[in-house]
Amino acid sequence: MERVDFLMKNGRVRVMALRQAEALSKLKLGTYQTRDVGHMATITKPMVATTGDGLDGMTREELFALAEARGIKVHGASGADKVRAALRA
């Protein structure tokens, strides 16, 4: 059974079976890297470029809740990208 490093959206890394990592990746809960211990080479799956603040993985409703908790006023018809921009500003 091959083990991989799974990078969750919240930034935590867990070592798990490749099969489990593939399932979680399909659910868009994070990305994973396979490890070839024999050659110490790393084969990587394409990773999405993010700013590291965790906002890219959040849904529109989660972003609105975070903006409200931080006291940031965002129009109710705003899309997720506009809410992310307001949170990062």
- pLDDT the model gives residue 35: 60
What pLDDT sits at residue 41?
47
**pLDDT value at position 52?**
60
User: In 26-40, which positions are buried (b, 16+ CB within 10 angstroms) versus exposed (e)?
Assistant: eeeebbbeebeeeee
**Interval 35-84: pLDDT, tens:** 655 444 444 545 555 556 777 778 888 888 888 888 888 888 888 888 88
Overall pTM > 0.85: no
Closest CA to 11 of 58, 59, 43, 81: 58
pLDDT > 50? residue 7: yes
